[in-house]
Amino acid sequence: MPSDCIPFRDTNYFSSLICDYLDQKAELQPFYNRFPKLENFKAQIDEKQQSFSQEHRKVLVRSLQNQYKGITISDATKENMESLQQSSTFTITTGHQLNLFTGPLYFLYKIISTINLTRVLKEKYPEHDFVPVYWMATEDHDFDEINYFNLFGKKIQWNREDGGAVGVFDTQGLDKVFEVFSSEIGMGNHAEQLKSLFENAYIKHTNLAEATRYLANELFGAHGLMIIDGDDRELKRLFVPFVEKELTEQVSYTNVLPKANALEELGYKVQVNPREINLFYLAEGVRERIIEQEGSYFVNETEIRWSKSELIKHLHEVPERFSPNVMMRPLYQEVILPNLCYIGGGGELAYWFELKDYFKAVKVPFPMLLLRNSVLIQTQKQADKIEKLNISDTELFLKQHELINRKVRQISNIDIDFDPQRKHLQEQFKEMYELAKQTDVTFLNAVKAQEAKQLKGLDMLEKRLLKAQRRKLSDHVKRLTAIQNELFPNQSLQERTTNFSEMYLEYGEDLIPTLIEYLDPFKGEFIVIKK
Protein backbone atom coordinates (compact mmCIF):
# COMPACT_ATOMS: atom_id res chain seq x y z
CA MET A 1 0.00 0.00 0.00
CA PRO A 2 1.12 3.60 -0.49
CA SER A 3 2.65 4.59 2.81
CA ASP A 4 1.53 8.18 2.59
CA CYS A 5 -0.29 10.69 0.44
CA ILE A 6 0.84 14.29 0.77
CA PRO A 7 -1.15 17.32 -0.44
CA PHE A 8 0.63 18.86 -3.43
CA ARG A 9 0.70 22.24 -1.71
CA ASP A 10 2.57 20.76 1.27
CA THR A 11 5.39 19.45 -0.93
CA ASN A 12 6.42 22.98 -1.99
CA TYR A 13 7.25 21.61 -5.44
CA PHE A 14 4.05 22.74 -7.20
CA SER A 15 3.00 26.19 -8.34
CA SER A 16 0.24 28.20 -6.71
CA LEU A 17 -1.67 27.96 -10.02
CA ILE A 18 -1.80 24.17 -9.88
CA CYS A 19 -2.55 24.07 -6.16
CA ASP A 20 -5.37 26.61 -6.58
CA TYR A 21 -6.74 24.59 -9.50
CA LEU A 22 -6.81 21.45 -7.37
CA ASP A 23 -8.61 23.47 -4.70
CA GLN A 24 -11.08 24.60 -7.40
CA LYS A 25 -10.60 28.27 -6.60
CA ALA A 26 -13.47 30.27 -8.09
CA GLU A 27 -11.23 32.73 -9.93
CA LEU A 28 -9.80 29.91 -12.07
CA GLN A 29 -13.13 28.52 -13.27
CA PRO A 30 -13.14 30.68 -16.46
CA PHE A 31 -9.93 28.94 -17.58
CA TYR A 32 -11.21 25.38 -17.85
CA ASN A 33 -14.31 23.55 -19.03
CA ARG A 34 -15.15 20.93 -16.41
CA PHE A 35 -13.15 19.93 -13.36
CA PRO A 36 -11.99 16.29 -13.63
CA LYS A 37 -14.47 14.58 -11.35
CA LEU A 38 -15.85 11.18 -12.28
CA GLU A 39 -19.43 12.45 -12.40
CA ASN A 40 -18.47 15.31 -14.75
CA PHE A 41 -17.42 12.97 -17.54
CA LYS A 42 -21.00 12.30 -18.62
CA ALA A 43 -21.44 15.85 -19.91
CA GLN A 44 -17.97 15.74 -21.52
CA ILE A 45 -18.88 12.52 -23.33
CA ASP A 46 -22.12 14.03 -24.64
CA GLU A 47 -20.37 17.19 -25.84
CA LYS A 48 -17.58 15.35 -27.65
CA GLN A 49 -19.91 12.76 -29.16
CA GLN A 50 -21.97 15.47 -30.82
CA SER A 51 -18.94 17.19 -32.36
CA PHE A 52 -16.68 14.33 -33.47
CA SER A 53 -17.51 12.95 -36.89
CA GLN A 54 -17.48 9.36 -38.08
CA GLU A 55 -15.26 10.43 -40.96
CA HIS A 56 -12.61 11.60 -38.52
CA ARG A 57 -12.78 8.23 -36.79
CA LYS A 58 -12.16 6.42 -40.08
CA VAL A 59 -9.13 8.57 -40.88
CA LEU A 60 -7.78 8.15 -37.34
CA VAL A 61 -8.05 4.35 -37.37
CA ARG A 62 -6.56 4.11 -40.86
CA SER A 63 -3.61 6.27 -39.82
CA LEU A 64 -3.04 4.23 -36.66
CA GLN A 65 -3.11 1.01 -38.65
CA ASN A 66 -0.43 2.41 -40.97
CA GLN A 67 1.67 3.62 -38.06
CA TYR A 68 1.55 0.22 -36.37
CA LYS A 69 2.57 -1.76 -39.47
CA GLY A 70 5.38 -4.17 -38.66
CA ILE A 71 4.83 -3.91 -34.91
CA THR A 72 3.63 -6.80 -32.77
CA ILE A 73 0.68 -5.54 -30.76
CA SER A 74 -1.28 -7.02 -27.88
CA ASP A 75 -4.89 -8.12 -28.08
CA ALA A 76 -5.80 -5.17 -25.86
CA THR A 77 -4.17 -2.67 -28.24
CA LYS A 78 -5.80 -4.33 -31.26
CA GLU A 79 -9.22 -4.18 -29.61
CA ASN A 80 -8.73 -0.53 -28.69
CA MET A 81 -7.70 0.37 -32.23
CA GLU A 82 -10.79 -1.31 -33.67
CA SER A 83 -13.11 0.19 -31.06
CA LEU A 84 -12.08 3.72 -32.08
CA GLN A 85 -14.31 3.27 -35.13
CA GLN A 86 -17.34 3.21 -32.83
CA SER A 87 -19.08 6.44 -31.84
CA SER A 88 -19.28 5.19 -28.26
CA THR A 89 -15.46 5.07 -27.87
CA PHE A 90 -13.40 7.96 -26.51
CA THR A 91 -9.80 8.60 -25.69
CA ILE A 92 -7.89 9.80 -22.66
CA THR A 93 -4.62 11.35 -23.79
CA THR A 94 -1.22 12.25 -22.44
CA GLY A 95 1.73 13.54 -24.42
CA HIS A 96 5.46 13.56 -23.97
CA GLN A 97 8.71 14.28 -25.74
CA LEU A 98 10.76 11.48 -27.28
CA ASN A 99 13.18 11.40 -24.35
CA LEU A 100 16.00 8.91 -24.71
CA PHE A 101 15.01 5.66 -22.94
CA THR A 102 11.91 7.47 -21.56
CA GLY A 103 13.92 10.17 -19.75
CA PRO A 104 12.71 10.85 -16.17
CA LEU A 105 10.35 8.57 -14.26
CA TYR A 106 7.30 10.76 -14.74
CA PHE A 107 7.04 9.49 -18.33
CA LEU A 108 5.74 6.27 -16.74
CA TYR A 109 3.45 8.12 -14.33
CA LYS A 110 1.79 10.08 -17.15
CA ILE A 111 0.95 6.97 -19.10
CA ILE A 112 -0.12 4.94 -16.07
CA SER A 113 -2.40 7.78 -14.94
CA THR A 114 -3.95 7.66 -18.41
CA ILE A 115 -4.38 3.88 -18.43
CA ASN A 116 -5.90 3.88 -14.96
CA LEU A 117 -8.35 6.66 -15.77
CA THR A 118 -9.72 4.67 -18.74
CA ARG A 119 -10.33 1.73 -16.39
CA VAL A 120 -12.14 3.85 -13.81
CA LEU A 121 -14.28 5.42 -16.53
CA LYS A 122 -15.20 2.02 -17.96
CA GLU A 123 -16.50 0.94 -14.54
CA LYS A 124 -18.56 4.13 -14.21
CA TYR A 125 -19.80 4.27 -17.82
CA PRO A 126 -19.85 0.64 -19.06
CA GLU A 127 -21.86 1.55 -22.17
CA HIS A 128 -18.76 3.36 -23.52
CA ASP A 129 -15.18 2.33 -24.23
CA PHE A 130 -12.15 4.40 -23.29
CA VAL A 131 -8.75 4.17 -24.94
CA PRO A 132 -5.49 5.41 -23.35
CA VAL A 133 -3.39 7.40 -25.83
CA TYR A 134 0.26 8.47 -25.71
CA TRP A 135 0.88 11.35 -28.11
CA MET A 136 4.52 11.30 -29.22
CA ALA A 137 5.97 14.79 -29.63
CA THR A 138 7.68 13.79 -32.88
CA GLU A 139 7.60 17.32 -34.32
CA ASP A 140 9.42 18.84 -31.37
CA HIS A 141 12.84 20.34 -32.12
CA ASP A 142 14.31 20.75 -28.62
CA PHE A 143 16.89 17.99 -29.01
CA ASP A 144 18.95 19.13 -26.02
CA GLU A 145 15.97 18.37 -23.76
CA ILE A 146 15.63 14.77 -24.88
CA ASN A 147 19.09 13.47 -25.84
CA TYR A 148 20.02 12.05 -22.43
CA PHE A 149 18.85 10.27 -19.32
CA ASN A 150 20.28 10.06 -15.82
CA LEU A 151 21.58 6.80 -14.39
CA PHE A 152 23.10 6.52 -10.90
CA GLY A 153 23.82 10.25 -10.93
CA LYS A 154 25.53 10.14 -14.33
CA LYS A 155 24.29 11.66 -17.57
CA ILE A 156 24.02 9.12 -20.39
CA GLN A 157 23.96 11.32 -23.50
CA TRP A 158 23.47 10.90 -27.24
CA ASN A 159 25.66 13.32 -29.19
CA ARG A 160 24.70 14.16 -32.74
CA GLU A 161 23.93 17.16 -34.92
CA ASP A 162 20.67 18.97 -34.19
CA GLY A 163 18.15 20.34 -36.69
CA GLY A 164 14.53 19.77 -37.63
CA ALA A 165 11.84 17.63 -36.05
CA VAL A 166 13.31 15.02 -33.71
CA GLY A 167 10.96 12.20 -34.72
CA VAL A 168 12.72 11.70 -38.06
CA PHE A 169 16.24 11.74 -36.54
CA ASP A 170 18.09 8.58 -37.51
CA THR A 171 19.42 6.45 -34.68
CA GLN A 172 23.08 6.59 -35.68
CA GLY A 173 25.37 6.96 -32.69
CA LEU A 174 23.04 5.24 -30.28
CA ASP A 175 25.22 2.14 -30.44
CA LYS A 176 27.80 4.13 -28.48
CA VAL A 177 25.15 5.10 -25.94
CA PHE A 178 24.19 1.45 -25.65
CA GLU A 179 27.79 0.50 -24.83
CA VAL A 180 27.94 3.09 -22.04
CA PHE A 181 24.54 2.07 -20.69
CA SER A 182 25.44 -1.63 -20.71
CA SER A 183 28.65 -1.05 -18.79
CA GLU A 184 26.88 1.08 -16.18
CA ILE A 185 24.04 -1.31 -15.30
CA GLY A 186 26.26 -4.35 -15.01
CA MET A 187 25.04 -7.93 -14.93
CA GLY A 188 21.96 -9.73 -13.69
CA ASN A 189 18.56 -10.78 -15.04
CA HIS A 190 16.95 -7.34 -14.76
CA ALA A 191 20.01 -5.69 -16.28
CA GLU A 192 19.92 -8.05 -19.25
CA GLN A 193 16.23 -7.30 -19.80
CA LEU A 194 17.00 -3.57 -19.87
CA LYS A 195 19.87 -4.05 -22.31
CA SER A 196 17.62 -6.05 -24.61
CA LEU A 197 14.90 -3.39 -24.40
CA PHE A 198 17.35 -0.60 -25.27
CA GLU A 199 18.99 -2.53 -28.08
CA ASN A 200 15.72 -3.60 -29.70
CA ALA A 201 14.33 -0.08 -29.49
CA TYR A 202 17.25 2.07 -30.55
CA ILE A 203 19.67 -0.13 -32.45
CA LYS A 204 17.09 -2.06 -34.47
CA HIS A 205 14.95 0.93 -35.55
CA THR A 206 15.89 3.58 -38.05
CA ASN A 207 14.50 6.74 -36.48
CA LEU A 208 13.63 8.12 -33.07
CA ALA A 209 9.85 8.01 -33.54
CA GLU A 210 9.92 4.29 -34.44
CA ALA A 211 12.27 3.55 -31.54
CA THR A 212 10.06 5.38 -29.06
CA ARG A 213 6.91 3.68 -30.31
CA TYR A 214 8.57 0.28 -29.90
CA LEU A 215 9.74 1.12 -26.39
CA ALA A 216 6.37 2.47 -25.20
CA ASN A 217 4.57 -0.48 -26.79
CA GLU A 218 6.87 -2.96 -25.03
CA LEU A 219 6.28 -1.27 -21.68
CA PHE A 220 2.54 -0.63 -21.95
CA GLY A 221 1.12 -2.49 -24.94
CA ALA A 222 -0.33 -5.20 -22.69
CA HIS A 223 -2.50 -2.49 -21.11
CA GLY A 224 -3.96 -1.39 -24.45
CA LEU A 225 -1.99 1.84 -24.86
CA MET A 226 -2.38 3.49 -28.27
CA ILE A 227 0.68 5.42 -29.43
CA ILE A 228 0.09 8.13 -32.00
CA ASP A 229 2.43 10.17 -34.17
CA GLY A 230 0.86 13.47 -35.19
CA ASP A 231 3.44 13.88 -37.97
CA ASP A 232 1.07 12.15 -40.38
CA ARG A 233 -0.17 13.41 -43.75
CA GLU A 234 -3.74 12.14 -43.41
CA LEU A 235 -4.15 13.39 -39.85
CA LYS A 236 -2.72 16.77 -40.85
CA ARG A 237 -5.25 16.94 -43.66
CA LEU A 238 -8.04 16.92 -41.07
CA PHE A 239 -6.40 19.94 -39.49
CA VAL A 240 -6.08 22.01 -42.69
CA PRO A 241 -9.13 24.27 -42.02
CA PHE A 242 -7.70 25.30 -38.66
CA VAL A 243 -4.22 25.90 -40.08
CA GLU A 244 -5.69 28.06 -42.84
CA LYS A 245 -7.64 30.06 -40.30
CA GLU A 246 -4.47 30.51 -38.24
CA LEU A 247 -2.49 31.75 -41.25
CA THR A 248 -5.11 34.21 -42.44
CA GLU A 249 -6.79 35.37 -39.22
CA GLN A 250 -4.20 34.72 -36.46
CA VAL A 251 -7.06 33.32 -34.43
CA SER A 252 -4.96 31.71 -31.71
CA TYR A 253 -3.07 34.92 -30.92
CA THR A 254 -6.21 37.05 -30.65
CA ASN A 255 -7.87 34.56 -28.29
CA VAL A 256 -4.96 33.26 -26.22
CA LEU A 257 -3.27 36.56 -25.41
CA PRO A 258 -6.21 38.01 -23.42
CA LYS A 259 -6.50 34.74 -21.48
CA ALA A 260 -2.77 34.76 -20.70
CA ASN A 261 -3.04 38.37 -19.54
CA ALA A 262 -5.98 37.46 -17.33
CA LEU A 263 -3.94 34.74 -15.64
CA GLU A 264 -1.12 37.19 -15.09
CA GLU A 265 -3.49 39.73 -13.56
CA LEU A 266 -4.50 37.07 -11.04
CA GLY A 267 -0.85 36.80 -10.00
CA TYR A 268 0.03 33.58 -11.83
CA LYS A 269 3.05 33.02 -14.03
CA VAL A 270 2.22 32.75 -17.74
CA GLN A 271 3.70 29.51 -19.05
CA VAL A 272 3.77 30.30 -22.79
CA ASN A 273 3.20 33.51 -24.73
CA PRO A 274 1.45 33.14 -28.10
CA ARG A 275 2.97 34.35 -31.37
CA GLU A 276 1.08 36.05 -34.18
CA ILE A 277 1.27 32.76 -36.12
CA ASN A 278 1.71 29.61 -34.04
CA LEU A 279 2.92 27.30 -36.77
CA PHE A 280 6.24 25.87 -37.89
CA TYR A 281 7.25 24.79 -41.36
CA LEU A 282 8.80 21.34 -41.72
CA ALA A 283 11.36 20.37 -44.33
CA GLU A 284 14.41 18.15 -44.29
CA GLY A 285 16.52 19.31 -41.34
CA VAL A 286 14.26 22.34 -40.85
CA ARG A 287 11.55 23.25 -38.36
CA GLU A 288 11.24 27.02 -38.35
CA ARG A 289 8.52 29.55 -37.61
CA ILE A 290 6.18 30.84 -40.30
CA ILE A 291 6.08 34.64 -40.17
CA GLU A 292 3.76 37.10 -41.92
CA GLN A 293 4.79 40.64 -42.87
CA GLU A 294 2.60 42.99 -44.89
CA GLY A 295 0.68 40.21 -46.57
CA SER A 296 3.71 38.07 -47.45
CA TYR A 297 4.79 34.93 -45.63
CA PHE A 298 8.24 33.46 -45.08
CA VAL A 299 9.98 30.75 -43.08
CA ASN A 300 12.37 32.10 -40.46
CA GLU A 301 16.10 31.56 -41.15
CA THR A 302 15.41 30.34 -44.73
CA GLU A 303 14.80 31.73 -48.21
CA ILE A 304 11.34 30.17 -48.40
CA ARG A 305 8.63 32.75 -49.20
CA TRP A 306 5.02 32.81 -50.44
CA SER A 307 2.21 35.14 -51.22
CA LYS A 308 -0.99 34.49 -49.31
CA SER A 309 -2.60 32.55 -52.16
CA GLU A 310 0.58 30.54 -52.79
CA LEU A 311 0.77 29.59 -49.12
CA ILE A 312 -2.83 28.40 -48.94
CA LYS A 313 -2.36 26.36 -52.10
CA HIS A 314 0.83 24.87 -50.64
CA LEU A 315 -1.00 24.00 -47.41
CA HIS A 316 -3.65 22.01 -49.26
CA GLU A 317 -1.01 20.22 -51.34
CA VAL A 318 1.40 19.25 -48.54
CA PRO A 319 -0.38 19.67 -45.16
CA GLU A 320 2.27 17.46 -43.51
CA ARG A 321 4.78 20.33 -43.77
CA PHE A 322 2.79 22.55 -41.40
CA SER A 323 3.50 21.84 -37.75
CA PRO A 324 1.58 23.31 -34.80
CA ASN A 325 3.62 24.83 -32.00
CA VAL A 326 2.86 24.48 -28.30
CA MET A 327 -0.16 26.79 -28.60
CA MET A 328 -1.79 24.89 -31.45
CA ARG A 329 -0.74 21.31 -30.72
CA PRO A 330 -3.53 20.87 -28.12
CA LEU A 331 -6.10 21.91 -30.72
CA TYR A 332 -4.64 19.53 -33.30
CA GLN A 333 -4.92 16.71 -30.76
CA GLU A 334 -8.55 17.48 -29.99
CA VAL A 335 -9.48 17.80 -33.69
CA ILE A 336 -8.17 14.34 -34.64
CA LEU A 337 -9.01 12.40 -31.45
CA PRO A 338 -12.40 11.70 -29.77
CA ASN A 339 -10.73 12.92 -26.61
CA LEU A 340 -12.32 13.68 -23.23
CA CYS A 341 -9.40 14.51 -20.97
CA TYR A 342 -5.75 15.52 -21.20
CA ILE A 343 -3.41 14.33 -18.45
CA GLY A 344 -0.23 16.30 -17.92
CA GLY A 345 2.18 17.85 -15.48
CA GLY A 346 1.81 21.22 -13.82
CA GLY A 347 3.68 23.10 -16.54
CA GLU A 348 1.52 21.57 -19.27
CA LEU A 349 -1.78 22.33 -17.56
CA ALA A 350 -0.59 25.90 -17.02
CA TYR A 351 -0.49 26.58 -20.78
CA TRP A 352 -3.72 24.67 -21.41
CA PHE A 353 -5.41 27.21 -19.10
CA GLU A 354 -4.61 29.87 -21.70
CA LEU A 355 -6.49 28.05 -24.47
CA LYS A 356 -10.15 27.82 -23.47
CA ASP A 357 -11.33 30.87 -25.42
CA TYR A 358 -9.32 29.75 -28.46
CA PHE A 359 -11.16 26.42 -28.50
CA LYS A 360 -14.45 28.23 -28.15
CA ALA A 361 -13.62 30.51 -31.08
CA VAL A 362 -12.91 27.56 -33.40
CA LYS A 363 -15.84 25.53 -32.02
CA VAL A 364 -13.92 22.53 -30.67
CA PRO A 365 -14.84 21.11 -27.22
CA PHE A 366 -12.27 21.94 -24.58
CA PRO A 367 -11.11 18.74 -22.80
CA MET A 368 -11.01 18.17 -19.09
CA LEU A 369 -7.57 18.72 -17.58
CA LEU A 370 -6.18 16.29 -15.03
CA LEU A 371 -2.89 16.60 -13.18
CA ARG A 372 -0.88 13.40 -13.61
CA ASN A 373 0.04 11.28 -10.61
CA SER A 374 3.28 12.16 -8.86
CA VAL A 375 5.17 9.47 -6.98
CA LEU A 376 8.12 9.01 -4.66
CA ILE A 377 9.35 5.41 -4.59
CA GLN A 378 11.24 4.22 -1.53
CA THR A 379 12.93 0.84 -1.44
CA GLN A 380 12.42 -1.13 1.74
CA LYS A 381 16.02 -0.40 2.73
CA GLN A 382 15.44 3.33 2.30
CA ALA A 383 12.16 3.17 4.20
CA ASP A 384 13.91 1.43 7.10
CA LYS A 385 16.58 4.16 7.21
CA ILE A 386 13.90 6.86 7.22
CA GLU A 387 12.09 5.17 10.10
CA LYS A 388 15.30 4.92 12.14
CA LEU A 389 15.99 8.62 11.52
CA ASN A 390 12.44 9.44 12.64
CA ILE A 391 11.68 11.43 9.48
CA SER A 392 8.09 11.74 8.31
CA ASP A 393 7.33 11.47 4.60
CA THR A 394 6.22 15.11 4.59
CA GLU A 395 9.51 16.21 6.16
CA LEU A 396 11.41 14.53 3.32
CA PHE A 397 10.07 17.23 0.98
CA LEU A 398 11.62 20.06 2.99
CA LYS A 399 14.60 21.94 1.59
CA GLN A 400 17.69 20.22 2.90
CA HIS A 401 18.77 22.98 5.29
CA GLU A 402 15.23 23.15 6.68
CA LEU A 403 15.14 19.40 7.20
CA ILE A 404 18.52 19.38 8.98
CA ASN A 405 17.64 22.33 11.20
CA ARG A 406 14.32 20.81 12.18
CA LYS A 407 15.72 17.40 13.03
CA VAL A 408 18.73 18.78 14.92
CA ARG A 409 16.42 20.87 17.10
CA GLN A 410 14.31 17.81 17.80
CA ILE A 411 17.32 15.68 18.68
CA SER A 412 18.93 18.36 20.81
CA ASN A 413 16.10 18.55 23.34
CA ILE A 414 18.63 17.19 25.88
CA ASP A 415 19.88 20.32 27.59
CA ILE A 416 23.59 19.74 28.28
CA ASP A 417 24.14 22.61 30.67
CA PHE A 418 25.66 21.87 34.09
CA ASP A 419 25.18 25.39 35.51
CA PRO A 420 22.43 24.23 37.91
CA GLN A 421 24.77 21.50 39.20
CA ARG A 422 27.56 24.06 39.61
CA LYS A 423 25.32 26.36 41.61
CA HIS A 424 24.12 23.47 43.74
CA LEU A 425 27.74 22.40 44.35
CA GLN A 426 28.80 25.91 45.20
CA GLU A 427 25.94 26.24 47.71
CA GLN A 428 27.09 23.04 49.40
CA PHE A 429 30.65 24.31 49.64
CA LYS A 430 29.45 27.56 51.20
CA GLU A 431 28.16 25.49 54.09
CA MET A 432 31.53 23.71 54.27
CA TYR A 433 33.33 27.05 54.35
CA GLU A 434 31.20 28.15 57.30
CA LEU A 435 31.85 24.86 59.06
CA ALA A 436 35.61 25.22 58.51
CA LYS A 437 35.62 28.76 59.91
CA GLN A 438 33.80 27.54 63.01
CA THR A 439 36.14 24.60 63.57
CA ASP A 440 39.61 25.00 62.03
CA VAL A 441 40.37 27.78 59.53
CA THR A 442 43.33 25.78 58.23
CA PHE A 443 40.77 23.55 56.49
CA LEU A 444 39.67 26.48 54.23
CA ASN A 445 42.38 25.82 51.63
CA ALA A 446 41.54 22.13 51.60
CA VAL A 447 37.85 22.96 51.05
CA LYS A 448 38.77 25.42 48.24
CA ALA A 449 40.95 22.76 46.57
CA GLN A 450 38.15 20.21 46.78
CA GLU A 451 35.63 22.70 45.36
CA ALA A 452 37.92 23.51 42.44
CA LYS A 453 38.52 19.81 41.78
CA GLN A 454 34.80 19.00 41.72
CA LEU A 455 33.93 22.02 39.56
CA LYS A 456 36.68 20.99 37.17
CA GLY A 457 35.23 17.49 37.12
CA LEU A 458 31.82 18.93 36.15
CA ASP A 459 33.50 20.95 33.39
CA MET A 460 35.17 17.83 32.05
CA LEU A 461 31.92 15.86 32.12
CA GLU A 462 30.07 18.67 30.37
CA LYS A 463 32.70 18.87 27.62
CA ARG A 464 32.65 15.12 27.09
CA LEU A 465 28.88 15.04 26.82
CA LEU A 466 28.86 18.02 24.45
CA LYS A 467 31.47 16.34 22.26
CA ALA A 468 29.44 13.13 22.22
CA GLN A 469 26.29 15.06 21.30
CA ARG A 470 28.06 16.87 18.50
CA ARG A 471 29.38 13.56 17.21
CA LYS A 472 25.92 12.06 17.43
CA LEU A 473 24.36 14.98 15.57
CA SER A 474 27.10 14.97 12.96
CA ASP A 475 26.42 11.35 12.15
CA HIS A 476 22.69 12.03 12.13
CA VAL A 477 23.10 14.99 9.77
CA LYS A 478 25.21 12.89 7.42
CA ARG A 479 22.59 10.15 7.35
CA LEU A 480 19.79 12.70 6.90
CA THR A 481 21.63 14.28 4.00
CA ALA A 482 22.47 10.94 2.41
CA ILE A 483 18.92 9.57 2.41
CA GLN A 484 17.38 12.79 1.13
CA ASN A 485 19.98 12.99 -1.65
CA GLU A 486 19.10 9.43 -2.66
CA LEU A 487 15.39 10.24 -2.91
CA PHE A 488 15.73 13.80 -4.20
CA PRO A 489 18.70 13.78 -6.62
CA ASN A 490 20.19 17.25 -7.04
CA GLN A 491 17.51 18.50 -4.62
CA SER A 492 14.84 17.81 -7.23
CA LEU A 493 11.92 15.42 -7.26
CA GLN A 494 12.93 11.83 -7.95
CA GLU A 495 10.39 11.62 -10.77
CA ARG A 496 11.96 14.58 -12.60
CA THR A 497 15.49 13.19 -12.52
CA THR A 498 15.74 9.40 -12.13
CA ASN A 499 15.32 7.08 -15.10
CA PHE A 500 12.98 4.10 -14.80
CA SER A 501 15.90 1.69 -15.37
CA GLU A 502 17.14 2.28 -11.81
CA MET A 503 13.76 1.16 -10.48
CA TYR A 504 13.60 -1.71 -12.94
CA LEU A 505 16.91 -3.03 -11.65
CA GLU A 506 15.30 -3.10 -8.18
CA TYR A 507 11.81 -4.39 -9.03
CA GLY A 508 12.04 -5.91 -12.51
CA GLU A 509 8.78 -6.76 -14.28
CA ASP A 510 6.84 -5.96 -11.09
CA LEU A 511 7.54 -2.23 -11.49
CA ILE A 512 4.77 -1.25 -13.88
CA PRO A 513 2.07 -3.56 -12.41
CA THR A 514 2.89 -2.15 -8.97
CA LEU A 515 2.52 1.42 -10.20
CA ILE A 516 -0.72 0.56 -11.98
CA GLU A 517 -2.02 -0.91 -8.73
CA TYR A 518 -1.13 2.10 -6.56
CA LEU A 519 -1.69 5.13 -8.81
CA ASP A 520 -5.19 6.58 -8.47
CA PRO A 521 -5.78 9.27 -11.14
CA PHE A 522 -8.32 11.04 -8.92
CA LYS A 523 -6.17 10.98 -5.78
CA GLY A 524 -5.10 14.61 -6.08
CA GLU A 525 -2.12 14.13 -3.76
CA PHE A 526 1.54 13.17 -4.00
CA ILE A 527 1.87 9.42 -3.52
CA VAL A 528 4.71 7.81 -1.56
CA ILE A 529 5.25 4.12 -2.26
CA LYS A 530 7.36 1.92 0.00
CA LYS A 531 8.12 -1.49 -1.47
Q: Which helix (H) or strand (E) holds 344?
A: strand 339-344
Q: With helix as H, strand as E and coil as C, how does 292-310 read?
A: EECCEEEECCCCCEEEHHH
3-state secondary structure of 124: helix
- Residues of the chain falling short of pLDDT 50: 1
- Residue partners of 450: CB distance under 8 A and separation at least 6: 429
Backbone conformation region of residue 115, classed left if phi is above 0, alpha if psi is from -120 to 50, else beta: alpha
Q: Which helix (H) or strand (E) holds 7?
A: strand 2-7
Q: Around 233, how many Cα atoms within 13 Å sit in the side-chain half-sphere?
A: 4
Closest CA to 416 of 471, 474, 461: 461
The strands making up 339-344's β-sheet, listed across from edge to edge, are 226-229, 129-136, 89-96, 339-344, 368-371
3-state secondary structure of 135: strand
Closest CA to 277 of 255, 302, 306, 252: 252
Other C-beta atoms lying within 10 Å of the C-beta of residue 419:
9
**pLDDT for res 281:** 98
**pLDDT for res 450:** 87
Other C-beta atoms lying within 10 Å of the C-beta of residue 88:
13
Q: Taking a C-beta distance cutoff of 8 angstroms, is the pair 143, 99 a contact?
A: no
Q: Taking a C-beta distance cutoff of 8 angstroms, is the pair 319, 343 a contact?
A: no
pTM of the entire predicted model: 0.89
Q: With helix as H, strand as E and coil as C, how does 355-412 read?
A: CHHHHHHHCCCCCEEEECCCEEEECHHHHHHHHHCCCCHHHHCCCHHHHHHHHHHHHC
**pLDDT for res 455:** 84
**pLDDT for res 409:** 67
* Angstrom distance (rounded) from CA 185 to CA 191: 6
* Angstrom distance (rounded) from CA 483 to CA 478: 9
**pLDDT for res 470:** 59
Q: Distance of CA 323 to CAs 275, 301, 304, 327, 330, Å?
A: 14, 16, 16, 11, 12
Cα 47 to its chain centre, rounded Å, is 29
**pLDDT for res 413:** 61
